[in-house]
Amino acid sequence: AQKVTQAQTEISVVEKEDVTLDCVYETRDTTYYLFWYKQPPSGELVFLIRRNSFDEQNEISGRYSWNFQKSTSSFNFTITASQVVDSAVYFCALTPISGAGSYQLTFGKGTKLSVIP
Amino acid sequence: NAGVMQNPRHLVRRRGQEARLRCSPMKGHSHVYWYRQLPEEGLKFMVYLQKENIIDESGMPKERFSAEFPKEGPSILRIQQVVRGDSAAYFCASSPGWVEPKKAYEQYFGPGTRLTVT
Q: What is the pLDDT along chain B (118 residues), one digit of tens a residue?
A: 578 999 999 999 999 999 999 999 999 888 999 999 998 788 999 999 999 999 999 999 999 999 999 999 999 999 999 999 999 999 999 998 766 666 677 899 999 999 999 9
AA identity, residue A20? T
Q: Identify the burial level of B3 via C-beta atoms within 10 angstroms of its C-beta, where 0-12 means exposed, 13-18 middle and 19 or more buried.
A: middle
Identify the sign of the CA torsion A59, A11, A112, A83: negative
Q: What is the pLDDT of residue B99?
A: 65
Bigger pLDDT: A86 vs B41: A86
- Contact (CB<8Å) A103/B89: no
Q: What is the pLDDT of residues A88-117, one digit of tens each?
A: 999 999 999 887 778 899 999 999 999 999
Q: Is B69 on the interface with A (CB under 8 A)?
A: no
Query: For residue A1, what pLDDT is reported?
Result: 80
Closest residue of chain A to B108, computed from CA coordinates = A47
* Number of neighbours of residue A43 by Cβ within 10 angstroms: 14
CB A106 to CB B55 under 8 A? Answer: no
Task: Please state whether the peptide bond connecting residue B74 to the residue before it is cis, i.e. omega within 30 degrees of 0.
Answer: no
Chain B environment of A103 (Cβ under 8 Å): 31, 33, 48, 55-56, 95, 105
Closest A-chain CA to B49: A103
Residue A115 pLDDT: 97
C-alpha separations of B70 from A21, A46, B49, B58 in Å: 40, 26, 10, 20
Q: What pLDDT is stored for residue A102 in this prediction?
A: 80
Distance CA A77, CA B35 (A): 23
Give the minimum alpha-carbon distance from A16 to chain B in angstroms, rounded to a whole number: 29
- Residue pLDDT, tens place only, A5-58: 999 999 999 999 999 999 999 999 989 999 999 999 988 899 999 888 888 778
